[in-house]
Chain A
Amino acid sequence: MGYFSDIYHGIGTLLTGMRVTGKYFINARKGAITQQYPDNRDTLQMFERFRGEVVMPHDENNEHSCTGCQKCELACPNGSIEIIWDRVIDPETGKKKKAIDQHIYHLGMCTQCGLCVDACPSDAIKWAQNFENSVYDRTQLTRILNKPGSKVRAGVEE
């Protein structure tokens, strides 16, 4: 009799499985978890901590708060940050002061580990939430974060 009870039991388990998928089929309209990505671009909101790419915020006077301390460059495991700096004479005090010329960020080498942003003492760099980072030419992945003609905000000290 085990033969027939096996068949009965087997068919029972199969029907149980079909009930699970059947339930989803009936509720297909509201249950769909698909994100229709390029269509929902306008409403798609990334989380505020999402690590897309490193950016350097500038204020309305075209000033940033990077002092050129190079802590981010040291913290980066991949060498994706390069800082070109020089000592310039501060017109007010007349002293020589470290200032960045270019804050170069190689997005192509970045692993989005977040150590540079964590290391920055003056919060000069932060994460942007954009995730559409693909480009046609690899040179476009090398970005200069400080805008041309920008300078360090007064009061931000090393």
Chain B
Amino acid sequence: MGTATLEPTSIKKGFKSEEYFINMGPQHPATHGVLRLLLTIDGEIIKKVDPDLGYIHRSIEKMCESNSYQQIVHLTDRLDYLSSHINNEAVCLCVENALELEVPERVKVIRTILGELTRIASHTLWWGVMGMDVGAFSSYFYGFRDREMINDIFEETCGARLTMNYNIPGGLMQDIHPNFVKRVKEFIPHFRSKLPEYDRLLTGNIIFQKRTKGVGVLSKEDAINFGASGPVARASGYSCDVRKYHPYSALDKINFTEALDTTGDSFARYKVRIAEMWESLAIIEQLIDNIPEGDHKVATNAVIKLPKGEFYQKVETARGEFGVYIISTGTKNPYRVKFRSPGLSNLSLLNHIAVGGKIGDLVATMATIDIVVPDIDR
């Protein structure tokens, strides 16, 4: 996508007489941040969507090249800030694999629990915002109420609510807080009682179903071709859960089913995310009672030097497959770091699936793709 095609004048060149151009964003309630969509519209019907990125580019990948491996971790908090724990974990796993460092079992289990809690926190926020995007305001607050409990757990153990930076290469920065297990055990029954309420308020609602069913349909082939991942791809029937196929941390020892759907519309993506929350609860329940004793980290050198070579690690964030690709020349700084963010590939679908729908459909589709702009625009 060259910049030339994004100028409104050049977009307007190919217009039919009834089409017009409209700028959605960078400041718009439905773009969830500073994403700019250049829409070509005929009346209410979308003819073309051109996402224009770059409004929140912070050159994080370039910054990584001048930071040490411990310091890279905290930058990944700022990518997809709703799955910061999982992003941190990806970098740490990549560095640990490169160093051939075996972390204690305790670390693995805690990382997995925190990762699943992050996923639930992200999905509850998404659920609230999804409701708001289709016009049901109350869901926003119900979602945030449940997310607040998880944020308290994070804050008590990690010291921060959003940008945790709790994982370090070699383990965890601190051991878990004594209250951690108690709080998680309080949260699980609470959330189990609230999830059916989500269904009653929104999932079953006829207006909501009409708004999402058959909207933004993505076929399995397209999901694979566009490199979609996470709930977006799984709603189209493309089984791609990294936790299942390339298990990391403690995920290889637990049983869970991958949430799948086949219709590929917005409602399917919605249902997959709701199912994922149930699965995440099940994963946490399997692990929370038997966190093994042991150290919370293994000692690494104060200055980590990765061996010469290229290293890749992928994890499943709340939005899909997040990959960390490090090229090392053997110094204390990486030569090049590339993040494969799920948001960018998922956003690239938007033009493909939103064309032909109404403006309302575009908003519903964007909500179910669940974009986080700093993740798209690094």
Contact = CB atoms under 8 A, between A and B. Distances in A.
A16 B209 CA distance: 14
B198 to A, nearest CB: 9
Interface residues of B, number: 36
A90 interface: no
A77 B63 CA distance: 10
Interface string A6-49: 00011001101101110010000000010000000000001101
Interface stretch (B30-38, B40-48, B150-158, B309-317): B150-158
A77 B197 contact: no
Contact of A75 (B70, B75, B148, B204): B70
Majority-rule SS of B interface residues: helix
**Which of B141, B157, B200 counts the most chain A CB atoms within 10 A?**
B200
A71 B74 contact: no
A118 B159 contact: no
Contacts of B70: 75, 115
Given A113-B73, A115-B71, 12 more contacts: A14-B206, A14-B207, A19-B200, A49-B157, A49-B158, A49-B159, A50-B159, A51-B160, A75-B71, A77-B68, A112-B160, A115-B165
25 contacts: A9-B206, A13-B204, A14-B205, A14-B206, A16-B204, A16-B205, A17-B201, A17-B202, A24-B142, A47-B155, A47-B156, A49-B155, A49-B156, A49-B174, A50-B159, A50-B160, A51-B160, A75-B70, A75-B71, A77-B68, A77-B75, A112-B160, A112-B163, A115-B165, A118-B168
Interface of A: 9-10, 13-14, 16-17, 19-21, 24, 33, 46-47, 49-51, 71, 75, 77, 111-115, 118-119, 127
